Amino acid sequence: MTPPTHLDGAKVTRFVIIDSSISPSGKTIHTIFGEEKDTDFASRLAICSYDDSSGFYLFYCDDNWKVIDDGFGDTLEEILLQAEFEYEGITTKWEVMV
């Protein structure tokens, strides 16, 4: 299931559906509604950008592409490296939105 073209008003440029070939590294903890969570809370990831802003966002999404949390990087390379830090095996899984 591909994501919509925009999430939270940001254009989706790349996405990945987390499957058994991708595993949370355990190197990052997210605080969501006051509760600490490993990165296993997300089943989909999207890299997005806003028209009026530089940089890229890593959106952590549920099965329906609802954004649960996000991260920011100044460059696409930076956000891709962050995703790899958090999820082992993700590098070759990214799909580019067309």
Choose between 32 and 43: higher pLDDT. 43
77 and 16 in contact (C-beta within 8 Å)?
Answer: no
Query: What would the pLDDT profile of 13-42 be if each residue is shown by its tens digit?
Result: 999 999 999 988 877 776 766 777 666 678
Q: How far is Cα 77 from Cα 71, in angstroms, rounded to an integer?
A: 13
Helices (H), the chain: 76-86
This prediction's pTM: 0.88
pLDDT mean over 52-57? 92
pLDDT mean over 65-90? 95
